[in-house]
Chain A
Amino acid sequence: MPERSTITIHVNGHTVVVPAGSVVSAALLAVGEPCRMSVSGEPRTAFCGMGICFECRAVIDGVAHQRTCQMLCHEGMSVETQR
C-alpha cells in the first residue's frame, strides 16, 4: 500500500489537510487558530516548540491539556482550542 502523504484533521470544526508528519501545533498555526486562551483571555499559540512552555495546550480527540508541539497529527484527529 502506498504511504499516505497527507492527513485530514478537524480544527475547531474546520477540515484541514496537512502533510504527513506534521505536528499538531503546526496545523493550528496554518489555520490561524489559537491553541489556547490564557487565564486573562489572550489567544496563545505554540512558543518554545520543544514541550516546555505549555502554551500549545489544546483539546485533542476530547482530551484536554495536550501539548500539541510534541504530538503528530493522525487521520481524523479532532483538535479544539483550549478555553
Chain B
Amino acid sequence: MMRRTDVLVIGAGPAGIAAATAAAKNGCSTIVLDDNVAAGGQIWRGGIDSARTKEDPAKTKAIAALRSSGAEILAGRQVVDQPAPGVLRAVITMADGTRAESFAWDRLILATGARERFLPFPGWTLPGVFGAGGLQALVKGGFYVEGKRVVVAGSGPLLLAVAAHLQEYGAKVVAIAEQAPLRQLLPFAASLLGSSLGKLLQGARYRASLARTPYRMGCWPVAVEGEESVRGVRLTNGRRVWSEPCDLLACGFHLVPNTELAELLGCKLRGDFVEVNVRQQTSVANVFCAGEPTGIAGLEAALIQGEIAGLSAAGAAREASELYGRRSREQAFARRLEAAFRLRPELRSLAVPDTIVCRCEDVPFSQLQEHISWTDAKLQTRCGMGPCQGRICGSAVQTLFNWRATSVRPPLFPVPLEVFDSEEISISPETIVH
C-alpha cells in the first residue's frame, strides 16, 4: 500500500508532535509515523498509571492540538527503509502478522529522538538490570515494582526523573549514583536557577518525592552482585567501593541521538548529531530534522525546534523566524547540559575480559581488545552484527575504544523477508514530482 502526503513526520515525541501540528495548521496534508503503540515519545510515554501519577498537562495540550490540526497519527509503524527517492517504508506488526506500508512525501521531518547510552560492566546482562529510562518504560507498561529496592545509576537528568517516577509507583529507590562530580554539575544547577520556571518546578517536584533518597555525585557502578538475579550493586566514588543491596538496577549513561534514518537518507552529520540550518533543514533538500537527533536539549528545545521545522516545511518562514530567539536560549541550555554530564574516563575501564559488550552476539570485551577498528572487530567477532544492528554496543565501543560506527544500511531494523516480497512499490511519475 502506498500513500502520499505533503509532509511526512517520523517520530511522535514532543518534536514530531509540534512539527506535525504546525505543518497541518498551515494547510499541509500531514502524516506522523511512530513505532510505539501510542503518540508521546519518551517523556510522554503513555501506559498504566499508578494512583499517584498524573498525566502531564503539557502532553494533554500538545496531543489535543495535534488532533485538532488535522494531522493524521499512525502509531505502531516502524520506518525501515527508502524503497525509492521520496518514499519511506514502514513495517507494522498486527495480531495477524507483519506487513509493510509506503509513504510518498513532498517534505520530510525527522523527529526520531534519542536512546540511552549503555556501558558494559560486570553483571550488566543479568535479569534485573535495566536501562534507567528502560525500567521507567517497563513500569508504565505494567511491570509492578511496589516495595522493590532499586538503585538508579549512570548519568544525566533522566536519573532524577526516573527515580521520582519509580517512587510514585511504590518502589524504594535506595540510591541515585550520578557519575558526574559536584564541581562539574554546579554550573548547570546554578544556571537552572536563572532559567525557566518550568524546569525549576520540575526539579523541585523531583526533590520533593526524592527527599529521603541520597543523590550521590561522582559515584558510579562497578559491578552487579548476584548469580541468577540482582542482589546488589557495587558502587564507587573513586576512593572506596561499597555494596548497595537492591532488587533492581536502572542504569543509563545519558542519551545518544537516533541518527540512523537521517544517515540512511544521506543527511550530513556534525559530530554525533544531524546538521541543520536555522530553518531546521538538513543537508538534503526538503528533509528537516528536530529534537534530540540535532542535539540533546530536552523537552522545551524539542517543542520549539519541532514547531520551527513544521512551519519551515509549510513555507511559513516569517512565523518560524519569530521562534529563533527562544530556540537559542534552549540551545544554550543544551551546551550546559553536555558539559555537566560529560563522562569520566574511569567508565572506560569498567569491563573485565569476560564482560559481554555485544549483547546480541555475546561478544566479550577480551575479544574486542585485539582489534583496531569497529569494522575489523565486526568482521572478526560479529560485534554489532545482531538484530540491534549495533545500537547498543555501537555507542559502548565508541566510548570504550573511540571506534566510530560505519555506514548505515537498510533495513534499519530486521524485517522478515516475506514482508517486503508481498508489497508492491509502484510509483507513478506524478507521485514523486516535487
- The secondary-structure label for the interface of chain A is loop
Chain B residue nearest to A56 in the complex (CB): B138
Verify A49–B130 contact, CB threshold 8 A: yes
Contacting residues, chain B, for A74 (C-beta < 8 A): 95
A78 at the B interface (CB under 8 A): no
21 contacts between A and B (CB under 8 A): A18-B142, A21-B141, A21-B142, A25-B141, A26-B138, A26-B139, A26-B143, A30-B144, A38-B125, A44-B127, A44-B359, A46-B138, A47-B134, A48-B131, A49-B131, A51-B35, A53-B131, A53-B388, A69-B137, A69-B138, A70-B93
Verify B131–A47 contact, CB threshold 8 A: yes
B386 at the A interface (CB under 8 A): yes
Contacts A38-B125, A47-B134 hold; do A27 and B142 have CB atoms under 8 A apart?
Answer: yes
Verify A53–B391 contact, CB threshold 8 A: yes
Verify A70–B35 contact, CB threshold 8 A: yes
Min CB distance A45 to B, Å, is 4
With A and B bound together, what is the CA distance between A49 and B31 in angstroms? 25
With A and B bound together, what is the CA distance between A70 and B386 in angstroms? 19
A65 at the B interface (CB under 8 A): yes
Contacting residues, chain A, for B135 (C-beta < 8 A): 49
Chain B residue nearest to A33 in the complex (CB): B127
| A residues 60-83 in Cβ contact with B at 8 Å | 61, 63, 65-66, 69-72, 74
Contacts A19-B48, A29-B143, A55-B359 hold; do A48 and B392 have CB atoms under 8 A apart?
Answer: yes
Verify B125–A54 contact, CB threshold 8 A: no
B373 at the A interface (CB under 8 A): no
Verify A49–B136 contact, CB threshold 8 A: yes
Chain A residue nearest to B134 in the complex (CB): A49
With A and B bound together, what is the CA distance between A29 and B128 in angstroms? 9
Contacting residues, chain B, for A45 (C-beta < 8 A): 127-128
With A and B bound together, what is the CA distance between A70 and B125 in angstroms? 20
* Residues of B near any A CB (own CB < 8 A): 35-37, 42, 47-48, 78, 93, 95, 97, 115-116, 118, 125, 127-131, 133-139, 141-144, 228, 359-362, 386-388, 391-392, 414
Identify B141's interface contact among A40, A48, A49, CB under 8 A: A49
Contacting residues, chain A, for B136 (C-beta < 8 A): 49
Contacting residues, chain A, for B128 (C-beta < 8 A): 45
* Residues of A near any B CB (own CB < 8 A): 18-19, 21-23, 25-27, 29-30, 32, 34, 38-40, 42-55, 57, 61, 63, 65-66, 69-72, 74
With A and B bound together, what is the CA distance between A83 and B116 in angstroms? 27
Verify A50–B359 contact, CB threshold 8 A: no
With A and B bound together, what is the CA distance between A58 and B417 in angstroms? 19
Contacts A38-B359, A44-B359, A53-B391 hold; do A21 and B48 have CB atoms under 8 A apart?
Answer: yes
Verify B362–A39 contact, CB threshold 8 A: yes
Contacts A38-B359, A40-B362, A48-B131 hold; do A54 and B138 have CB atoms under 8 A apart?
Answer: no
Contacting residues, chain B, for A72 (C-beta < 8 A): 37
Contacting residues, chain A, for B388 (C-beta < 8 A): 52-54
Contacts A21-B47, A23-B141 hold; do A34 and B127 have CB atoms under 8 A apart?
Answer: yes
Contacts A50-B115, A66-B93 hold; do A22 and B362 have CB atoms under 8 A apart?
Answer: no
With A and B bound together, what is the CA distance between A49 and B42 in angstroms? 10
Verify A50–B129 contact, CB threshold 8 A: no
Contacts A23-B142, A26-B142, A29-B143 hold; do A47 and B35 have CB atoms under 8 A apart?
Answer: no
Chain A residue nearest to B125 in the complex (CB): A42
10 nearest A-B pairs in the assembled complex, by CB-CB distance: A22-B142, A23-B141, A49-B137, A49-B134, A26-B143, A26-B142, A54-B387, A40-B362, A45-B127, A26-B141
Contacts A48-B116, A51-B36, A54-B387 hold; do A71 and B93 have CB atoms under 8 A apart?
Answer: yes
Contacting residues, chain B, for A54 (C-beta < 8 A): 360, 386-388, 414
With A and B bound together, what is the CA distance between A74 and B37 in angstroms? 13
Contacts A19-B48, A44-B359 hold; do A50 and B386 have CB atoms under 8 A apart?
Answer: no
Chain A residue nearest to B129 in the complex (CB): A47
